[in-house]
Amino acid sequence: MNTILLGPPGAGKGTLAAMLKDNFGVLHISTGDLLREEMKGGTDFGKEIKKYVDSGALVPDEIVIKMIENKLSHKDKSPKGYMLDGFPRTEVQAKDLDRILKKIDRPIDFALYMEASLPVILQRLTGRRVCRKCGAISHIKNRPSKRPGICDHCDGELYQRPDDTEETILNRMQVYAEKTAPIVDYYAKQDKLETVSGDEETEELLKTVTKIWNDGHQSYKAKSAERN
């Protein structure tokens, strides 16, 4: 199954993606994670990227597109499919993705759009903590780690992303509204969109996605139409 996770920062894309990866064995490709990995290295390239990421601006399209193309080209590494998280984020990226997917013959089955309200987003992002070592996501109130500041999975150190401050979050929301929100329609027009509420608990969302996954998107849609 090949999918795209769409939605504002804090909609819960990363948390849901981690669960889907565990349950379905698909390859989780997060451009945010790839960029943070690059920044960790402290290379000139990493430093250039950091300027954008820390301020909440988008990294130039060419950079992220190249990263995605590299990752998707190895089909043998993801026989169960792929899940794109945080990509595409602009119309240019969405169109380029279609070009890449056509070339490698791995079309998406559906795009999952996770809507979320601003208060929920702010609460989630300001309390979010990320493991420096393995990237696992926790939350100081919603999903606290057993020992404060220490990752449950690998004992790594938990930290707050520099772009998870209130000011930068508002900046990211504005960038989202301007550049990313319009591509939701791009997938609706291709009849590939499924919308869920990101305000819901991840466990509930996991059930919904599992249904879509098992039924196939088109028959899931037909069934929900009958129910309504």
Which is closer to Zn ion, CB of 102 or CB of 153? 153
Is residue 58 near ligand ADP by the rule CB under 6 A?
A: yes
The interface region with Zn ion, picked from 44-52, 96-104, 146-154, 176-184 by CB under 5 A, is 146-154
8 closest CA partner among 190, 184, 158, 201:
184
Residue 222 binds which of ligand ADP, Zn ion, none (CB < 5-8 A, kind-dependent):
none
Which is closer to ligand ADP, CB of 12 or CB of 81? 12
| 147 counts as catalytic | no
| 132 counts as catalytic | no
Count residues contacting Zn ion (CB under 5 A)? 8
Helices (H), the chain: 13-24, 31-40, 44-55, 61-72, 91-104, 118-127, 166-175, 182-189, 202-215, 217-227
Is residue 114 near ligand ADP by the rule CB under 6 A?
A: no
Find the shortest distance in angstroms from Cβ 90 to ligand ADP.
7
DSSP assignment letter at 142: T
Q: How far apart are CA 93 and CA 95, in angstroms?
A: 5
What is the pairing mode between strands 110-115 and 27-30? unpaired
Q: Binding Zn ion by CB under 5 A: which of 131, 173, 183, 209?
A: 131
Those residues with Cβ within 8 angstroms of residue 35's Cβ, 6 or more apart along the chain or in another chain:
49, 53, 59, 64, 67
Q: How far apart are CA 43 and CA 127, in angstroms?
A: 29
Residue among 36, 50, 124, 128 flagged as catalytic: 128
Task: State the chain's maximal CA–CA distance in angstroms.
Answer: 55
DSSP assignment letter at 156: P
Residue 95: C-alpha distances to residues 70, 102, 127, 208 (Å): 17, 11, 34, 28
11 closest CA partner among 143, 133, 118:
118
Among positions 164-223, residues that touch ligand ADP (CB under 6 A) are 172
Which is closer to ligand ADP, CB of 162 or CB of 216? 162
| 13 counts as catalytic | yes
| 189 counts as catalytic | no
Which is closer to ligand ADP, CB of 6 or CB of 209? 6
The interface region with Zn ion, picked from 105-113, 131-139, 192-200, 211-219 by CB under 5 A, is 131-139
- Known catalytic residues are 13, 89, 128, 161, 172
Residues that bind ligand ADP (CB under 6 A): 9, 13, 31-32, 35, 52-53, 56-59, 64, 86-87, 89, 93, 163, 172
